[in-house]
Structure 1
Amino acid sequence: MRMTGWWPRARPDAGTPEEQGNDPLFVRSVARAMQVLSAFHQADAPMTLTEIAAAGEMDKSAAQRFVHTLRKLGYIERDMTDRGFVPGLRLLDHSLDYLRLNPLVERATPVLQEMRRHVHERVDLSLFDDLRVVYAARNQSKRETFFAALIGHAVPTFCASGGRAILALLTDAEVDDILARSDLRPITMRTITDPEAIREKVREAREVGYACALEEVVPGEIALGVAITGPDRRPVAAIHVAGSLSEWQPEEFCQKFGPLAQSTARALSRA
């Protein structure tokens, strides 16, 4: 089975089995069903029952029952070539519910569309999720890869421009904690993985109000990120502007788009 990327998607901390057993409101069967659905997070090909059982940390018999139930409900399907199982169409209903009921995504979408018309480069909104940032809105530019255009795609906080802009609004202790728990393996040849070098990038972002990353997630790409804060002034999301290094010098790119991204992020933060 091939994998889409080495960085894991976040799983909520459901506690230890003992803690779950002591929680009278915790439904373990629901948690195990979600483990089955989460088995697909790292797959880029249909999964067999054996693979689902291993990824979901359960025996094959239990996995078979969960897969059967989820197929009946439309949340898992057989692959069209009958090579294994894939997520079902019904899951998109829940993605739509999340996006349409998230007030920040609702407010940001028209603002980012207008911003895209001015900058003529890719403009994204990512949501902060601890060790990663998850893209919730993507306004494409003239060049894209398949995964770069998908809502829900995530990159590690430590190397994303928006992630570093978010880190810049956290305390040093919080930054150290995130770096200590992150898998600091490189995505490209230019991904910065040294903790002190990352801290220096975070300090730079604090000074100028935005973070810039050169080819750290996508080769040939420059990305600029600005954090969006919630009512408590804590970072909750980020705006990204991304362009090609074949068309832009880094200093020129940051000077042109930094102020616009900052003003847009401030407007969304106030809202």
Structure 2
Amino acid sequence: MSYVQRAEYGVRPASHVDEDDPLFVQAVARAMQVLSAFHDTGRPLSLNEIATASGMGRSAAQRVVHTLRQLGYVERDADDRGFVPGIRILDHTRDYLRLNPLVARASPVLLELRRNVRERVDLSLRDGLRLVYAARLQSKRETFFATLVGQSVPIYCTSGGRAVMAHLSDAEVDEIIERSERREITPKTITDPEGIRAKVREARQNGYALAMEEVLQGEVALAAAILAPDGTPLGAIHIAGSLSEWEPEGFCRRFAPLASEAAGALSRF
């Protein structure tokens, strides 16, 4: 069995898992597969659907689901239509956020940036072919999509992703493009490899990356990369606004220096 953990806009390849490792516990991996079955759904799942999504037989899935229900990590939804993740998963989200040193350092920086820009401010962290939002400070235009910590977006077509790629080699950028499922999220999403490379080159030249309506229609977003001491991009600071209120040039002129300053402050550790 291949233990592939699926995530929105990205896949963690099975090649990352060595099932012959004597320390590898398959029962734990099966539990993670069941929990990962909920990544791509917008509704409760039946036992058969969980078994199919997790790549295991119904009997094995039933045992894992039963165990996770006993522990509070899976539960029946309020209308008894199927299974949903349980509340105890939030305990682990809290643990990750409070014990991640970058997230902890970012909190005062993000709050100050939000006070200055009065637009949405996000912190994202890189995970393979995607960025995962670890902090989100809302503007006056709140949507459910834009409030969720843990929401992920693909690297290839987002301002944060291009800011990250700007600090990678051309070979690494090409690998990301090749491995990404380059689909149109909106009619403005750039999926052509050369178009993506051009946006990365633009980000290298400017010191920040810009994306317009590539994930959300009507949204303009810019981002600056957060770097480890060795120069490895760890994630990005994003600022997002509405094209009904901003021209792209004015948005960049106003906010790019602030995003770069905030990302630079978080890169110095």
1:90 aligns with 2:61: no
1:15–1:260 Cα change, 3 Å: closer
Matches of 2:11 and 2:91 in 1, distance apart? Answer: 21
1:217–1:44 Cα change, 3 Å: same
**Matches for 1:116-135 after TM superposition, within 5 Å:** 116-135=114-133
C-alpha deviation, 1:11, in angstroms: 3.1
Give aligned-pair identity as a percent. Answer: 65
Matches of 1:190 and 1:143 in 2, distance apart? Answer: 21
Per the alignment, residue 230 of structure 2 pairs with 232
Q: 1:144 aligns with which of 125, 142, 145?
A: 142
C-alpha deviation, 1:183, in angstroms: 0.5
Per the alignment, residue 11 of structure 1 pairs with 12
Matched residue SS, 2:230: coil
C-alpha deviation, 1:9, in angstroms: 4.3
Per the alignment, residue 200 of structure 1 pairs with 198
Q: 2:54 aligns with which of 53, 56, 68?
A: 56
Per the alignment, residue 254 of structure 1 pairs with 252
- TM-score scaled by length of structure 2: 0.95
Does the aligned pair in 2 maintain the 1:10–1:129 contact within 8 Å?
no
Does the aligned pair in 1 maintain the 2:44–2:82 contact within 8 Å?
yes
In structure 2, runs of 5+ residues without a counterpart are 1-6
Matches of 1:12 and 1:236 in 2, distance apart? Answer: 20
C-alpha deviation, 1:14, in angstroms: 5.8
C-alpha deviation, 1:10, in angstroms: 3.7
Per the alignment, residue 44 of structure 2 pairs with 46
Q: 1:104 aligns with which of 102, 105, 112?
A: 102
1:138-186 Cα offsets, whole Å, 9 max, x none, are: 0000112212110000010001101000000000000000000000001
Per the alignment, residue 268 of structure 1 pairs with 266
Matched residue SS, 2:30: helix
Does the aligned pair in 2 maintain the 1:8–1:42 contact within 8 Å?
no
RMSD: 1.3
Matches of 2:192 and 2:165 in 1, distance apart? Answer: 15
Matches of 2:171 and 2:243 in 1, distance apart? Answer: 34
Per the alignment, residue 209 of structure 1 pairs with 207
Amino acid aligned to 1:111:
V
1:42-89 Cα offsets, whole Å, 9 max, x none, are: 011000000000000001010000000000000000000000000000
Aligned length: 263
Runs in 1 of length 4+ with deviation above 6 angstroms? none
1:190 aligns with 2:188: yes
Matches of 1:230 and 1:163 in 2, distance apart? Answer: 16
**Matches for 1:167-186 after TM superposition, within 5 Å:** 167-186=165-184
